[in-house]
Amino acid sequence: MDVSIVRTSPFDLPSKRRVGAIAYDGTVDMRLWRGPGSDRDLDELYGGDLQDFLDQEREKLGIERLKLGEVVRVHRGQLHCDFLAWVGAREPEPGTSQSSAPGREVLREMALATLSFVAERSVERVAFPALGEGLNQLDRADRLEIIIRAAHEYEAACFKDGRPPVVEEVLVCEPIAEVVRRVQGRVSGLAKSEVVVAPKAARKKAKRKPASRTRKPAKPVLDPAEVSAVRHTAEKYSIRRNYQIGEWLRHPKFGVGRVESVTDTQAMEVIFEDGEIKRLAHQR
Q: What is the pLDDT of residues 163-196, one digit of tens each?
A: 999 999 999 999 888 899 999 999 988 988 876 6
CA distances from 183 to 100, 146, 188, 231 (A): 23, 10, 8, 20
State the alpha helices, DSSP H only, in 131-176: 140-161
CB atoms within 10 A of CB 62: 6
Burial 8-19 (b: 16+ CB within 10 A, else e): bbbbbbeeebeb
Complete edge-to-edge strand list for the sheet that includes strand 71-75: 71-75, 81-90, 19-27, 125-128, 169-173, 2-7, 192-195
Predicted local distance difference test score (pLDDT) of residue 218: 59
The distance between the two most distant Cα atoms of the chain, rounded to a whole number of Å, is 70
Q: What was the pLDDT predicted at 215?
A: 54
Q: Which of 177, 78, 71 minimizes the C-alpha distance to 126?
A: 71
Q: Beta strand pairing status for 169-173 and 125-128?
A: parallel
Cβ contacts of residue 198 below 8 Å, gap of 6+? 8, 9, 12, 14
By the 10 Å C-beta count (0-12 exposed, 13-18 middle, 19+ buried), 219 is classed as exposed
pLDDT of residue 155: 96
pTM of the model: 0.72
Single out the residue of 90, 71, 58, 89 nearest to residue 22, CA to CA: 71
239 and 281 in contact (C-beta within 8 Å)? yes
Round to whole Å and give the CA distance between 132 and 145: 12
Low-confidence ranges of the chain (pLDDT < 70): 195-220
Report pLDDT for 163: 94
- One-letter amino acid identity for 87? V
The answer to whether 242 and 283 are in contact (CB under 8 A) is yes
Burial of 50 from C-beta contacts in 10 A (0-12 / 13-18 / 19+): buried
Q: How far is it, in rounded angstroms, from Cα 150 to Cα 90? A: 20
